[in-house]
Structure 1
C-alpha cells in the first residue's frame, strides 16, 4: 500500500514540474556533481569529436547497433588511468557517477555499459593505430609541458598474464588444444589419452629425489603423446584448416622438442611472443613478457612516449625507438635524454645528448658537473 502511494506521489510531482525545468529527468546527474572534479575537467578538454571521426568507419552498419565510440574510448582511458582490469572497469563505471559522465552519459545508469569482453574486442578493432591516436590526444592536452627538451628514459617489463612456464604444462596444453581442434573439425582420433595424461601430470608433480626418474619418464611420455596426436591431426585435417593452423602447429612442435638451454623458447601457447627477462631484481629474478620503454619530461614528469619491444635486446639499443615514438607526439626536438647505467653504449645509436650517472669527466667544467649531478639525482628519478 505504501509502495503504491509513493509511486503515485512521484508521478504527480513529475506531471506538475514545469517543462522548462533544467532537470529533464529524475536521474539527471550532470549538474549534481562537483564541476571542478578532475574527471569532468578532462572530459571537457578532451577532443572526443576527433576520436569519433577516426573510428566511425570501424562501426559495422549491419547486425546489432554498435556502442557509442565515446563510451568505449572513455572506458579504455579510465582503465589505464586507474590501473583496472576490464571487469573492474565495468563494475566501477556502474557505481561511479563521475565515470559515467566522463563517458558521455547524462543520466545515472543502473545497467552495465557493456560486457567486459567487449573492451578487448574494441581494442583489437581499433588496433595499434587507434591506441596511438588516443595517446596522442592525451599528450596534446598538456600543451607546452609536453614540449620540454630534456626527458627521462627508462625500461621496464610489461608482464603477460601467463603462469610459470614448465615443460609439463606446455606438453599437456598441446595435447588439450589438439584434442579440442579435432573435436571441432569432427575428426575421429585413434586415442585421446585423457586418462593417461591425467596420471602423467600427477607423476610429474613429485620432484623428490626418489621420484625424479619417474617424473622424467612421465614428461618424456607426455611429449611422445603430444607428437603422436599432432602428426595424426596433420594427416587428417583439410588443407584449408592446416593453412590457418600453420603457425600454431609450428609453436606446438617447438614446445614439445625444445630443451633447457635453447634460445627463443616457447613459454606460453596463447602468448608465443613472450620471452624471459632478467632485470636483476631480488624479488623477481625472472619475468615473462616484453620489454617496454617509457619517456617522461624532466619537470612535469609527463609520459610523452612509450614503446614495446618484440626482441629481448640490451637497453642501449632500446633508447632510439623510445625517442622516435616520443617525437611523433610533439613539435620540439628532444636534445637531452637522462638514463640509468643500464644504457651504457647507447650514444652510438642516437643523436641526442645522453646523461648517464657516471663519474664526472675531467674535461667537464663546474657547471657541467652540477648539471649532470642535478639530472641524475635518485630523488628526482
Structure 2
C-alpha cells in the first residue's frame, strides 16, 4: 500500500498497519466502522495487534477514515488482505498447496441494505429524494406532497395487507402521479440541472416509467446496482443484491477465492473468473472443481480444470468422494452470512459489494487461523 500511504501534501496518512489491523478485526468479529474503533480503545490485545507498544486511551482515528482508506486501496487492495491471510495459513502449514488443487465452487446472493422494493415504496422514496434535493438547491416547488404522499403510502400498505387490491392499486397510482408532478415541476424551474440532480431525475423517471415485465429495473434510488435474483428458495423467492462466487478447498474448507459479480450472470459463466482469482491469491491453479447443477454447460468451463457437476452422471472412486464433498461449501456460506456480514451489505456502490465479500472471506479465514493457533498452543 505504498502508493496510498505516500504523503501528497496535507495531513500525513495513518499507519498502514493500523488500518489493515482494524479491517482484519472488523472482519473477524463482524463489527461496524464505529464499533471497531470504539472497542479498539478498550482492548490492549487489539492495540498490540495493530502495532501499538503503549496502551492508548484515545480513538485511533475517526470511523470515516476507514471508509476513505477502503476507497483509496479499492478492491485490489482488499484482495491483497485476503491473499495475506491465505499465505499466513500456508506458512503455518494449516493450508497445504496440494489442497488448493481440489476445490468446491458455489454461488450465493449478497443482499444489499435496501428496503423491499414495492412500486408504492419506490414512488414514495423517489419523490422524497427529489424534494430533499430541490430544497438544498433553494427550488420552491409548487407542492411537495409531504403530507398527502405519506398518507397515500400508509393507505396503500394497509389495503395491500388486507388484500383489498383495487383500493391499494388506486393509492399506488396516486403516489405515481405525485412523483410525476414533482419531476415536471423541477424540470420547469431548473432547466439546466447539475450532474447530481440530473442523475436523480433520471432515476426517478425510470422508476415512474418501468413496468412489471421490464428488464434491468431500478430497485433503489441510492443503490442502482441492486439486482433481483431468484434462487428458487421456498422462504425467500426474490433476493435483492448481487451474486457472489465462493471457492473453498475440498479438504479443509479454507476460502481461497470470493468474487462479487454484477449483471446476474449464469453460474457457469463465473467459474473461469473464480479460478483465475484463486490462482492470483494462492499461486496455485485448481485442477478439479466440484460444482452443483447451476454450473452445467461445458462451453463455460475453463479448459485447465476438470469440472465435476453433481447430479448429472454417476461418478466412481475418488471422483465420487469429491462430488459428495461438494456440499461442504453450504455451511461455509451460512457462516459467512451469519457471522461475517455477507447477509446484508451496507457498503456503497458496486465496489462496496466486492469489498464486503472479500472482507467476509477474510473474517472466516482469520477465525479458522485463530482456532488453529489456539489448538497448537494448547
TM bucket (normalised to shorter chain) is 0.7 to 0.9
For residue 355 of structure 1, the aligned residue among 299, 308, 321 is 308
Q: Which moved more, 1:99-108 or 1:83-92?
A: 83-92
Question: Using the alignment, how far apart are the partners of 1:380 and 1:171 within structure 2?
Answer: 43
1:341-376 deviation per Cα after TM superposition (whole angstroms, max 9, x unaligned): 221224543211001223655xxxxxx711112112
Q: Please tell me whether residue 237 in structure 1 is matched to residue 190 in structure 2.
A: yes
Question: Using the alignment, how far apart are the partners of 1:293 and 1:146 within structure 2?
Answer: 21
Contact 2:247/2:274 (<8 A) preserved: yes
The answer for unaligned runs of 5 or more in structure 2 is 330-378
Aligned-residue offset at 1:155: 0.8
Question: Using the alignment, how far apart are the partners of 1:90 and 1:309 within structure 2?
Answer: 30
Task: Determine the structure 1 residue equivalent to 2:291.
Answer: 339
Question: Using the alignment, how far apart are the partners of 2:248 and 2:277 within structure 1?
Answer: 12
Task: Determine the structure 2 residue equivalent to 1:287.
Answer: 239
For residue 181 of structure 1, the aligned residue among 122, 133, 138 is 133
Classify 1:128/1:380 alpha carbon distance in 2 versus 1 (closer, same or farther; 3 Å). closer
Q: Which moved more, 1:107-116 or 1:254-263?
A: 107-116
Task: Determine the structure 2 residue equivalent to 1:153.
Answer: 105
Aligned-residue offset at 1:251: 1.8
Question: Using the alignment, how far apart are the partners of 1:257 and 1:238 within structure 2?
Answer: 21
Q: Aligned-pair RMSD on alpha carbons?
A: 2.4
Question: Using the alignment, how far apart are the partners of 1:85 and 1:346 within structure 2?
Answer: 42
For residue 228 of structure 1, the aligned residue among 176, 181, 196 is 181
Classify 1:358/1:196 alpha carbon distance in 2 versus 1 (closer, same or farther; 3 Å). closer
Q: Please tell me whether residue 248 in structure 1 is matched to residue 200 in structure 2.
A: yes
Contact 1:145/1:300 (<8 A) preserved: no
Question: Using the alignment, how far apart are the partners of 1:200 and 1:316 within structure 2?
Answer: 45
Q: Count residues in correspondence.
A: 321
Aligned-residue offset at 1:65: 4.7
Correspondences of 1:17-96 after superposition (within 5 Å):
51=1, 53-57=2-6, 61-62=9-10, 64-96=11-43
Question: Using the alignment, how far apart are the partners of 1:113 and 1:234 within structure 2?
Answer: 46
Question: Using the alignment, how far apart are the partners of 2:181 and 2:134 within structure 1?
Answer: 13
Question: Using the alignment, how far apart are the partners of 1:349 and 1:321 within structure 2?
Answer: 10
The answer for unaligned runs of 5 or more in structure 1 is 1-50, 362-367
Task: Determine the structure 2 residue equivalent to 1:141.
Answer: 88
Question: Using the alignment, how far apart are the partners of 2:328 and 2:177 within structure 1?
Answer: 56
Q: Please tell me whether residue 132 in structure 1 is matched to residue 79 in structure 2.
A: yes
Q: Please tell me whether residue 110 in structure 1 is matched to residue 46 in structure 2.
A: no
Task: Determine the structure 2 residue equivalent to 1:6.
Answer: none
Q: Which moved more, 1:136-145 or 1:177-186?
A: 136-145
Aligned-residue offset at 1:294: 1.0
Classify 1:115/1:284 alpha carbon distance in 2 versus 1 (closer, same or farther; 3 Å). farther
Question: Using the alignment, how far apart are the partners of 2:102 and 2:165 within structure 1?
Answer: 56
Classify 1:380/1:134 alpha carbon distance in 2 versus 1 (closer, same or farther; 3 Å). closer
Contact 1:274/1:289 (<8 A) preserved: yes
Task: Determine the structure 1 residue equivalent to 2:152.
Answer: 200
Which has the larger Rg? 1
For residue 314 of structure 1, the aligned residue among 242, 262, 266 is 266
TM-score normalised over the length of structure 1: 0.77
Task: Determine the structure 2 residue equivalent to 1:13.
Answer: none
Q: Please give the secondary structure, in 2, of the residue aligned with 1:207.
A: helix
Question: Using the alignment, how far apart are the partners of 1:302 and 1:173 within structure 2?
Answer: 42
**Structure whose residues are more often helix by fraction:** 2
